[in-house]
Amino acid sequence: MARYDRVKLLLKDDFTKLQDAKIILLGVGGVGSFCLDCLYRSGVSKITIVDYDTFDTTNQNRQMWSELHTGELKTEAYKMHYPEIEIINERVDESWVREFDFSRYDVVLDAIDDTRAKLALAQRCYKKLISSFGSAKRVDPTKIKVNDIWKSEGDALGKKIRHELRKRRFKSKYTVIYSTEEIEIKEKGSFMGVTASFGLVMCAEALRKLRK
């Protein structure tokens, strides 16, 4: 069988939608790296990734390929493994979001931590945005949920985002991924079973959006 035959068996005619789609993925850490891998293996090749960070040893418990590329830029390292992707070595902050042209992308995936950048993304790209909330400090991937921003719950970052959006008189809906599990610790501990699951759910939601 050819590389994507089993995906084609499952998705049938919708597979061409994946091949034609243009996706931008912001952040390729614990969540974003697994989302990238899932998208690529599912037949999406027109992917742009944006990140500014380098790999260090603390990434090796949860980030794809990190043990092979310590000290290297994440975007350039991922280009070696997923040669068809486009890369942008930039920090995704509020000003970058406000200046970047998202018009050529069908789906915008947010796997960053910067709250102000997340708010700017919601205001600019809500119709095609899928945003990840906190995946750290948790151990139970079965508590991961998908809903619109106003129906999300149980997540401190999500609560803050909703509060700030109300202050900005933002009333539109967009898709968010979050966990209802209570955090285990205050420090930034992380378990790949949860962070990777966030990334896989993000990939699945992106494919669902494209198939519509």
Structural domain count of the chain: 1
DSSP 59: G
Q: What pLDDT, on the 0 to 100 scale, is given for residue 176?
A: 98
**Residue with the larger pLDDT of the pair 178 and 60:** 178
What is the percent of the chain with per-residue pLDDT over 70, rounded to a whole number? 100
Q: What pLDDT, on the 0 to 100 scale, is given for residue 1?
A: 61
CB 28 within 8 A of CB 37: no
10 residue type, one letter: L
DSSP 3-state of 154: coil
Burial class (CB in 10 A: 0-12, 13-18, 19+), 80: exposed
Neighbouring CB atoms inside 10 A of 203's CB total 24
Angstrom distance (rounded) from CA 146 to CA 28: 20
C-alpha R_g of the chain: 16
**Stated pTM of the model:** 0.95
DSSP 3-state of 51: strand
Average pLDDT, the chain: 94
Burial state string for 12-32 with b = 16 or more CB within 10 A and e = fewer than 16: eeebebbeebebbbbbbbbbb
Instruction: Residue count of the chain, please give it.
Output: 212
Q: Look up the domain containing 57 and give its range.
A: 5-211
Kindly report the CATH number assigned to the domain that includes residue 75. 3.40.50.720
